[in-house]
Structure 1
Amino acid sequence: MIDTPTAFEIVPMTPDHLDQALALSQAIDWPYRREDWEIALRLGRGFAVEQGGECVGTALWWAYDPDYATVGMIIVADKAQRQGIGARLMTALLDDARGRTLILNSTAEGQVLYTRTGFVAYDAVHQHQAVLQAASEPDPSVSLRPATAADREALLAIDRAGSGMGRQQLVDALVRNGETLVVERDGGITGYGIVRRWGRGVVVGPVVASAPEEARALIAALAARHVGTFVRIDVFASTGFSGWLEGLGLPQVGRVVTMARGNPPSRDNAVTLYALANQSLG
């Protein structure tokens, strides 16, 4: 006798779903803590798939000014596969974020679905991580200092220039929850980076800077504070930083494809987003 799958329902995701959402991510070896899920839901919105009284799927999105959004934390439990749940989740998400350009980072398995729904690849992200064994030598040519509350507007302006999006709520939350360094040059701030608790240890990102040497100095300094800790950083392939990160002791362990549904954000050529906050938040 063949079991007939129980009907599923897609509902707005709430804090009541978080324990089961955490279990879903643990089942596929994603390193999210419950705190990471809480922050992601607080900053964004999305959907849960309920089937037989159980949460078997999730999808979240985060709105950025003026009309962009990133998409992530899309999971469908193994036992709920091949029921059309992934396609229905994407339809619900696209309807909810209607009118916005959507950006996501896709595994090879997800690309077929996303291409079918109008996403086009435009970059890739390399995932680097390891228990950091040693700190690198600081670059004396780059002046770094801890960020202060007075730097907020400058940080937001640099982040908008580098990402092409207004991400005020995200940046404010990351600054509150992490350690932030800025690059100071000629009396102004030309870059910033954040390290914070996340997943198995810490994550370095976002990192935004006006020159590669500034970004490298920020990454090295932030990582150096966590020798002996599991350190992760996700960098755009187009930055060419992967070889340097390998030399830092952070090998590349994964690659995802960055895709947009609509035109990707237009970034300031003078400033570059080198490292992401994470693959979902951008």
Structure 2
Amino acid sequence: MATGLKKAVQVRAMLADDLSAAHGLSREQQWPHREQDWTRMLELGQGVVAESEGAIVGTTMWWTFENGFATIGMVIVSNAVQGMGIGRQLMEAAFADIGDRTVLLNATDEGLRLYRSLGFEPIGSVYQHQGAAFSVPIAELIPNERVAPMKVGEVPDITRLDQDATGIDRTRVVDYLCDHAQGVVLNRDGDQAGYALFRRFGRGYAIGPTIAPDIGGAKALITHWLGSNAGMFCRLDVPDDSGLSSWLDELGLPCVGRVTRMCRGTPPQRGATVRAYSLINQALG
């Protein structure tokens, strides 16, 4: 039975016309993505779909970066055909395009076995926090520190901070996000020291990425967005070693899920001055 189905499945490039069906697959998995979120991710990267008897039954997307890295996400196989090797076919199609880059992904528990068999190793966890914070404390800024709206001329500095924080050259992605999001910059002693973006995503809004020199700076950036949007549904995906999880719980954004950060190849090496305190999203990292 599995062999017959596998022969009937065609893996091909994802097209804009496929996004409505892809959105249906993510809804089946109870993922919050809107069709607009799928559209923006495809504009930034590439994808493949698995098609059987005219229906799309699986998806995978990936994003490549100039300095030898790639991320994979939106790996979905319809409940009706899981366990039949379609996920592996989709991943192998992605690898064929990605080449010899180091690949990063955030894995649900259901995908761990497949990803391990494909050479991925765990490197940490990411906690998903979401909710509506109705009471947010005033940010505790240190002397000569302020949070201010991002200016167009600051974007090149922001992209350099982002690469230092992640070890990945995400210039094209950050430039795109800055055109589709609101941004604030953490300024210390007259220099850009971090930033955070706020944009529509899923059930409400996403805060991320958040790049900062320390947890105090990260809290100042996140507090700005929560305080100016009190009562709105917000989501943050934070690394397990960020130190933010219990703080977000206290603010009314409880942890509702966890994924495993995985890497196939040599993990990127971030700089010593800044780090990522929240992700763009779980797909892009």
TM-score normalised by L of structure 2:
0.96
1:18 aligns to 2:19 (yes or no):
yes
Q: Look up the SS of the partner of 1:71 in the other structure.
A: strand
What is the one-letter code of the residue matched to 2:254? P
Residue of structure 2 in register with 1:147 after alignment: 150
Q: 1:211 corresponds to which residue?
A: 214
Q: Could you give the per-residue CA deviations for residues 183-209 of structure 1, whole angstroms, max 9, x where no partner exists?
A: 111221010001101000000000001
1:183 paired with 2:225, answer: no
Asked whether 1:159 is paired with 2:162, we answer yes
Alpha-carbon distance between aligned partners in 2 of 1:136 and 1:189, rounded to the nearest angstrom: 23
Structure 2 matches for 1:60-71, cutoff 5 A? 60-71=61-72
Number of equivalences: 281
Partner of 1:51: 52
* Alignment match, 2:136: 135
Q: Distance in 2 between matches of 1:38 and 1:136?
A: 35
Gaps of 5+ in 1: none
Which amino acid in 2 is paired with 1:276? L
Q: 2:225 aligns with which of 204, 222, 230?
A: 222
The alpha carbon displacement at 1:177 in A equals 1.2
Task: Say if 2:99 is the partner of 1:91.
Answer: no
Check the 8 A contact 1:145/1:181 in 2, yes or no.
Answer: yes
Structure 1 runs of 4+ aligned residues shifted over 4 Å read none
Identity %: 38
Could you tell me how far 1:279 is from its partner in structure 2? 0.3
Q: How does 1:169-180 map to 2 (within 5 A)?
A: 169-180=172-183
Give me the whole-angstrom Cα distance separating, in 2, the residues matched to 1:94 and 1:224: 42
**Shift of residue 93 of structure 1?**
1.0
1:238 to 237, 241, 253: 241
Measured after TM superposition, the shift of residue 222 of structure 1 is 1.3
Secondary structure in 2 matching 1:234: strand
Amino acid aligned to 2:267: P
Cα-to-partner distance string for 1:62-84 (whole Å, 9 max, x where unaligned): 01121101100000001121221
Query: Does the residue aligned with 2:110 lie in a helix, a strand or coil?
Result: coil
| Whole-angstrom distance in 1 between the partners of 2:30 and 2:270 | 33
Task: Quote how far apart the aligned CAs of 1:173 are.
Answer: 1.5
1:34 corresponds in structure 2 to 35
- Name the stretch that deviates more: 121-130 or 170-179: 170-179
Cα distance in 1 for partners of 2:148, 2:259 equals: 32
Distance 2:66 2:129 in 1: 29
Structure 2, unmatched stretches of 5+, are none
Contact in 2 for aligned 1:195/1:223 (Cα 8 Å)? no
Q: Distance in 2 between matches of 1:224 and 1:41?
A: 31
Q: Deviations over 1:78-129 (max 9, x none)?
A: 1121221011111111111111100000011111100110001111100000
Matched, 1:263 2:282: no
Partner SS, residue 241 of structure 2: helix
- Matched residue of 1:238: which SS? coil
